[in-house]
Amino acid sequence: MSSAQVLLVGAGPGPVDLMTLRAVRAVEGAQALLYDALISEEAIALAPPGCVRIQTGKRAGKPSMHQDEINRLMLRLARKGLRVVRLKGGDPSVFGRVGEESAFLREHGVSVEVVPGVTAACAAAAQFGFPLTHRGEARRVVFTTARLEAGALSGDWSAAGDPEATLAVYMGGEMAGALCERMVAAGRAPGTPAVAVEQAGGADARITHGTLATLGDRLDGQGGPVVIVVGEVAAQALGAVADEALVARTA
């Protein structure tokens, strides 16, 4: 049986001190490192001298290496006997295409180990002091992405109408207005608290407060990766507060 192996490793939301110990050790032992565009320089620097470093891209809306090319590259390097680490932002199992890559590698006789990481919604909640679940307010968490097809937001958003669910929407910053409108159309109250966190977990993270009725207008100029969290728990978020109702109460 082939001894070829690839490690699919979660780098967390950015800072190396939010990587797991297993993830750090994996990168430190890598002979070939394939990393996404959002991986921090600190994390890449953990790789040892002589390690082959290849950026695969995978930044939303930007040119990147095609998935089939990434698959073939991992396979080729693993078959050369190199210890291959595929380093992904966040957690590999949360919108990280871990299923596709694992299936491809295993079909070609390469064993796979997945190393989990902190996903952006969890990092945002920890950094800005709000829970994702909360007794009496949020019994469920839904992780989803915002996708455009033919210029319109696609997908089934019926879960957005559940008042006891917290929604964490990845890659939704540029279409926040349409996203909020879709949630209201699904039955969520326009006054439902909502926050957008850019660069979650990092020193440059920033939060924008609002509601489903106001958040879209407040996100003009957001540049980095954004996770949007919608639900009653978002009202507990710390940071720069811009919601009119909160301002009015402190006036």
Write the pLDDT tens digit of every residue in 51-84.
999 999 755 555 678 999 999 999 999 999 999 9
More confident residue, 25 or 147: 25
pLDDT of residue 249: 36
pLDDT per position as a tens digit, 209-228: 999 999 999 986 555 789 99
- Give the start-to-end residue ranges of the domains of the chain: 5-115, 120-250
The matching CATH number, chosen from 3.30.950.10, 3.30.420.40, 3.30.70.260, 3.40.50.300, for 120-250 is 3.30.950.10
pLDDT band for position 248 (cuts 50, 70, 90): very low
pLDDT of residue 175: 86
Does residue 24 surpass a pLDDT of 60? yes
Distance CA 101, CA 72 (A): 10
The CATH number of 5-115 is 3.40.1010.10
pLDDT of residue 180: 93
Indicate which residue of 58, 88, 91, 243 is catalytic: 58
What percent of the chain shows pLDDT beyond 90?
76
More confident residue, 113 or 2: 113
Q: Is 176 exposed, middle or buried (0-12, 13-18, 19+ CB in 10 A)?
A: buried
Kindly report the number of other CB atoms within 10 A of residue 180's CB atom.
Answer: 28
pLDDT band for position 187 (cuts 50, 70, 90): very high
Query: Strand 148-149 and strand 165-170: pairing?
Result: unpaired
Indicate which residue of 17, 36, 62, 91 is catalytic: 36
For the entire predicted model, the pTM comes to 0.87
pLDDT band for position 244 (cuts 50, 70, 90): very low
- Residue 80 falls in the annotated catalytic set: no
